[in-house]
Structures are given as C-alpha cells and as structure tokens.
Amino acid sequence: MLKIGVPSKGRLQELTFQWFGKHSVTMRQTGNDREYSGAVDGIDGVELVLLSAGEIPRELSAGRIHLGVTGTDLIRDKLADWDRQVTSLAPLGFGHADLIIAVPAVWIDVDTVDDLDAAASAFRAAHGFRLRIATKYHRLVRDFLTAQGVADYQLVDSQGATEGTIRNLTAEAVADITSSGETLRANHLKILSDALILQSQAELFLSHQADWDAATRATLSDLLTRLSLPEPAL
C-alpha cells in the first residue's frame, strides 16, 4: 500500500485535495474533523495519511510514508541532508511564502545583512550578550547567516507569534515566513533588503527510505501517470 501524507486540516489540505482532484484522484476526509482519517478514490493501492505539515518531513525521513505534501521550508529545515532523503516530484503552486529576516523599523541604519552584522557586534559590546533572533527555522537561518559571515547573534526558539517577540523583549530581530509582509508591518518590523533566505511553496515529495516493493512501485507508476509526472530513480 502506497501511503501519501497530506496536511490534516486548513487551507493546505483543501488545496492539496483540489490539486489531486484535477488529476482524477479524489482525496477526502472521513469521519469528523478530529478523527484525522481519510480515503483516496480513483486509484487502487493508495492510503491517505493525515498529518500536520510539520510532521510530514519526519515521516518521509523515517520511511513511514512514501509520498508527502509539505512546504519546501519544512523539508530543508528539518532534514539536514534532505536531498538524500527525499526527492521533490512537483511544486504544487500554492502555499507560497518567503523565509526572511526582519528588524525593528526604527533601526533606520540597518537595511542589509552587513548592517545587521555591524549592529550585532555593537549590541554585544553594549549589552554583554549576543543579539537574539527569534525563529523556528534554526538550520536554515544559521546556515544563511554563517554564509554571510554574521557571528554575534543567538537564535531563540519561537513556534508561534514570532513577530511579537520583539515587542515582548525576548528578541531583537526575527527570521520567519511571510507571504505579504502585513503582519511584519503591523508589528513595526521591516525586512532586510538582502535577507531572503528561501522561497517556499507546497511540494510533493518522495521518500527514499520507504519500502518500495514491486507492488508499491507499480502503484507509484500508475499515480505518476495520472499526475503527468515523470518517474524518479528509486
């Protein structure tokens, strides 16, 4: 049985169901909204697994699902060697967002990553500890800042309402996903002009760790034909 992990609720689930539905593969949630069970019609040998978008990279990595729909950002942040563990079969054209770094709008002299580097050094000299950047994307942000030569900072974990951490005095800057920038502006933050870390969208990923026996490979081939997608090397 080929298992496909899709977001368990919300707009991502709705758009995922629509995307597959356009290719005559009907996904539906069964039971009530709290049961997280579903079914797939229109193709045999496929099981629907409803998960949070953040859980799908882990399940792909562990091989407990064969395919999964989740964001580029989550795959690349949660899986260190993501390109060895999964293959992107298709961008799905929804769930677009940018991972960026933003600072208080009142920092009129900080507009670039180099400016942030200078501000971080001055902050440490003045306060005796490193400038704090709130984020849940630790790997991606750390790799980006390391490549840019920024050193005097520390990442603090934020799993929600990241933009509010500056107002709450738990961080001096944020690194977060944004689609329109409206929430950042509402919290009096501005995006650094050259701090686009990653452009993300929902994608269909294939797990290299899953059990690809002959029956599952045949089901995959049938599914990819329906989706008009090329078959990857397994």
152 vs 220: CA distance, rounded Å: 48
Residue 38 is predicted with a pLDDT of: 83
- Judged against a pLDDT cut of 60, whether residue 35 lies above it is answered with no
Ranking 22-26, 111-115, 180-184, 205-209 by mean pLDDT, the lowest is 180-184
Domains in the chain, ordered, with CATH? 2-96+201-226 (3.40.190.10), 97-200 (3.40.190.10)
What are the strands of the beta sheet with 37-41, ordered from one edge? 26-30, 37-41, 46-51, 2-7, 67-71, 202-207, 86-91
For residue 31, what pLDDT is reported? 66
Predicted local distance difference test score (pLDDT) of residue 33: 58
pTM (2 d.p.): 0.91
Local confidence band at 201 (pLDDT 50, 70, 90 cut-offs): very high
What's the Cα-to-Cα distance from 84 to each of 105, 161, 164, 230, 233, rounded to whole Å? 40, 32, 36, 19, 12
Alpha-carbon torsion angle 221, 226, 227, 228, nearest 10: 80
Instruction: Please state which of the ranges 4-13, 33-42, 80-89 shows the lowest mean pLDDT.
Output: 33-42
